[in-house]
Structure 1
Amino acid sequence: MFQSLPAVGAAEVPSDAFLLDVREADEWTAGHVDGALHIPMGTLMARLDEVPKDTRVYVMCRVGGRSGQVTAYLAQQGWDAVNIDGGMLAWEAAGRPMVAEHAGTPFVA
């Protein structure tokens, strides 16, 4: 039986939430949420011990596909994981704050 994936809109994510960004390095460099943990989806298995199990984990990617897969996996393994619907594009559209690893204005790559 298919179980629906827990998800919230970007505007609904608490400002003090624990965010896991599973995008690639070039996407992260262009723009990300300050304080988010960056673990590209392809390296998650080797770095699972960095993801806390004692707090809700909000997972994001660019539009929600990769983060949906990660959210489903984490939930199966016992994490309280929630997908951010629309990912960084929705985050940016909602006017939520972003930072970049370069001197310019942060953007979603």
Structure 2
Amino acid sequence: MKRLLGLIVLLVLMLAACGSGEYETIAIDEVSAKQEAGYTVLDVREPYEYEEAHIAGAENKPLSALREEEFSGLPEDRQYVVICQSGNRSQEASAILHEAGYDVVNVSEGMSSWEGDVE
């Protein structure tokens, strides 16, 4: 029984190590470090939400545009930290962008949890 359990654990670890090609998800308090490392913050809220307040230096590309495969203005050679208001839209946007070949990191929370400076 121990051997079977060990084999199952090993199999799970091997599958996890292979990765699913998914994107990384980070907490809101890791966003600044990613920005300092050269990532571009991509705010996927609607323009009126973005204009109310957004992280300094963030770019806006609404999820509604990404759903239509509207990627203009998003160079593929950049790394993006994807954020929204609560974490739901950024998750969908990250999946869309990842599928399109972009290097993305999703923020599990959103602007509702952001405590840093805003523009």
- Structure 1, unpaired ranges of 5+: 100-109
Matched, 1:6 2:6: no
TM-score by length of 1: 0.75
Counting matched residue pairs gives 94
Q: Distance in 2 between matches of 1:26 and 1:55?
A: 25
Secondary structure at 1:72 match in 2 = helix
TM-score by length of 2: 0.69
> What does 1:7-46 correspond to in 2, within 5 Å?
7-13=25-31, 14=33, 15-16=35-36, 17-44=39-66, 45=68
Secondary structure at 1:43 match in 2 = helix
Q: CA deviation at 1:98?
A: 0.7
- Structure 2, unpaired ranges of 5+: 1-19
1:37-81 residue CA offsets vs partner (Å, 9 max, x unmatched): 111111234640311221211111100111100101111111111
Q: Give every structure 1 segment of 4 or more consecutive aligned residues whose post-TM-superposition deviation is greater than 4 Å.
A: none
Q: Indicate the RMSD between aligned Cα atoms, in angstroms.
A: 1.7
Structure of larger gyration radius: 2
Secondary structure at 2:72 match in 1 = helix
Q: Distance in 2 between matches of 1:81 and 1:5?
A: 6
Q: Distance in 2 between matches of 1:47 and 1:34?
A: 23
State, as a whole percentage, how many aligned pairs show the same letter: 31
Q: CA deviation at 1:30?
A: 1.5
Q: Distance in 1 between matches of 2:64 and 2:111?
A: 18
Structure that is richer in helix per residue: 2
Higher RCO (CA 8 Å, separation ≥ 6 residues): 1
CA contact (8 A) 2:27 2:107 kept: yes
Aligned to 1:59: 82
CA contact (8 A) 2:86 2:112 kept: yes
Q: Distance in 1 between matches of 2:69 and 2:110?
A: 23
